[in-house]
Each structure stands twice: as structure tokens, then as C-alpha cells.
Amino acid sequence: MLDVFDLLPLLLTGAVVTVQITVMGGALALVMAFAAGLGRLSRSAPIRWLSTVYVEFFRGTSALIQLFWLFYALPLLGVSLDPMVAAVIGLGLNIGSYGAEVVRGAVLAVPRGQYEAARALGFSRAQMLRRILVPQAIPAMVPPFGNLWIELLKATALVSLITLGDLTFQAQMLRTATLQTPLIFGTVLFIYFALAMVMVFIIRRIERRVGRGLDRGGMRT
């Protein structure tokens, strides 16, 4: 009979892959969220359409299908991706499309008076977004971004289905080798939960940081 300490080394190798994808995919998602979220507010109609198509496409299809398509269908069109690259691109673009809606919503939710004051001072649209609206929208973006990051962690389990040796993949390998099913999956679930808790801790710290010194509400009479 194996105990949990026999399983841990292999599971932890998998967990490293899981963390890598969560971090790299998260970075890509963040970039895409701002690019497409602000792109949807661009004055240029082609940029708006492009951003909207990206967002609707990745939100409209399923993350697993996107991964399968990148890994199994794309090579048939002559582009072969390393599984790790496919995983980071697929999940990063998927979560980024949800993030784009967060960026757009937060910018639109900045009080109208800020827009008017910026207009009255003669700022161009780009200056207004960059200097006035986006900085004020960022604190509102952090909690939903945090939720999306946790969603990304959960979605990384899907990469086990495109042969990548993440935590879930290692669990499956161990299951077939040892048949210690309850122990393996119980441990794996708790590792994911622990990772999520670490991420929640990081998100809270960021929340406190961006919220500091910036009591909202421009009025205090």
C-alpha cells in the first residue's frame, strides 16, 4: 500500500507544470485583456471589430475545444505547436477574452464627470483613456481579474488532455499504475485548492496595494 508521500514527488512535478501555465497564461491573458478591452473602445472601427471578433469567438467556444483545435487540427494546416505553447496560447487567449470585458466594463464605469473634466481640459481621447480613465478603472479590475486567474488555474487541468504532464496528467498516470484512486484524486484536489488559496492571498495583496491612498468618490464635503 502506497501512502501520500510516495505519490507526492510525481504530483509535484506535475504541479510545477500547472503553475507555469497559470503564470505564463495569466501574463498573456492580461496583455490580451487590455489590448482587446481598450481595442473595443478605439475610435478606429476596424480595431473595434477585430477586438469584438476575438472576444466573441473565444468566449463563444469552449476552452477545451480551443486547445484541441490548436493541438490536433492546426498541425494539419501546417502549424505544429509544442503542447506547452499550445496550452499557454490557448488558455491565455481564452481567459484574455473574458478579461477584455472586465477592462471595458471598468473603464466605462468610471464616473461620467471624469470624462467631462478631461474633455473640458482638452485631452485627446487617447490621453483621456491613458491618463484619466484607465488609472481610475484599475482598482475595479483587480477582483474580477483575480477570479479569472483562478478560473485559469482550474482550466489548466484541460492540458492533460493534450498530453502535457501537468498535475491532472500525473494523477491519471498514477491511477493506472497504482489504482490508489481515492488517495490520488483526493490529494490532487487539495493541491489545487492550496494553489488557489496562495493565489487568493496574492490577489488580496494586490487589491490592498492598488486601493491604497485612493479613497474613491471625488466628493467629500
Partner 1 sequence: MIFDWDFAYSILPNLVDAVWVTIAATFWGFLLALGLGLVLALLRRSRFRLISWPVGFVIEFVRSTPLLVQIYFLYFVLPEFGLVMSPFLTGVIALGVHYAAYTSEVYRAGIDGVPKGQWEACVALDLSPYRTMRSVIVPQAIPPVVPALGNYLVAMFKDTPMLSAITVLELLQTAKIIGSQTFRYLEPLTMVGVIFLLLSLVASMMVRLVERRLAPAQSSPLLDYTK
Partner 2 sequence: MSQIDMSAPPMVRFRNVSKAFGDLVVLDDLNLDVQPNEKVAIIGPSGSGKSTLLRVLMTLETIDSGVIEVDGEPLWHMRRGDKLVPASRGHLREMRKKIGMVFQQFNLFPHMTVLRNVTEAPIHVLGLSKEEARARAVELLEMVGLGDKLDSYPANLSGGQQQRVGIARALAMRPKVMLFDEVTSALDPELVGEVLTVMRRLAEEHDLTMLMVTHEMGFAREIADRVCFFDSGRIAEEGPPSVIFSDPKQDRTRAFLSAVLNSQ
Residue 186 binds partner 2, judged by CB under 8 A: no
Rounded-to-integer distance, Cα 15 and Cα 167, Å = 5
Near partner 1 in 47-86, by CB under 8 A: 48, 56-57, 59-66, 68-69, 72-73, 76-78
The three cell numbers locating residue 180? 490508489
Of 196, 197, 198, 191, residue with least CA distance to 10: 191
- At residue 17, the 3 state secondary structure works out as helix
Q: Which does 161 bind (CB under 5 to 8 A by kind): partner 2, partner 1, none?
A: partner 1
Residue appearing with cell numbers 463563444: 60
Of 55, 58, 39, 37, residue with least CA distance to 47: 39
Rounded-to-integer distance, Cα 85 and Cα 13, Å = 18
Nearer to partner 1, 145 or 192 (CB): 192
Q: Which region among 61-69, 128-136, 170-178, 179-187 touches partner 2 (by CB under 8 A)?
A: 128-136
Which value, in Å, is the radius of gyration of the alpha carbons in the chain? Answer: 21
Residue 120 binds partner 1, judged by CB under 8 A: no
* CB-based contact 48:42 (threshold 8 Å): yes
Please pick, from the candidates 19, 117, 161, 210, the single residue that binds partner 1 as defined by CB under 8 A: 161
Q: Which does 221 bind (CB under 5 to 8 A by kind): partner 1, partner 2, none?
A: partner 2
* CB-based contact 34:106 (threshold 8 Å): no
Q: Which residues bind partner 2 (CB under 8 A)?
A: 111, 113-114, 116-117, 119-124, 127, 131-132, 135-136, 213-221
Q: Which residues contact partner 1 by CB under 8 A?
A: 41-43, 45, 48, 56-57, 59-66, 68-69, 72-73, 76-78, 105, 107-109, 112, 115-116, 119, 125, 133, 150, 153-158, 160-161, 168, 171-172, 175, 181-182, 185-186, 188-189, 192-193, 196-197
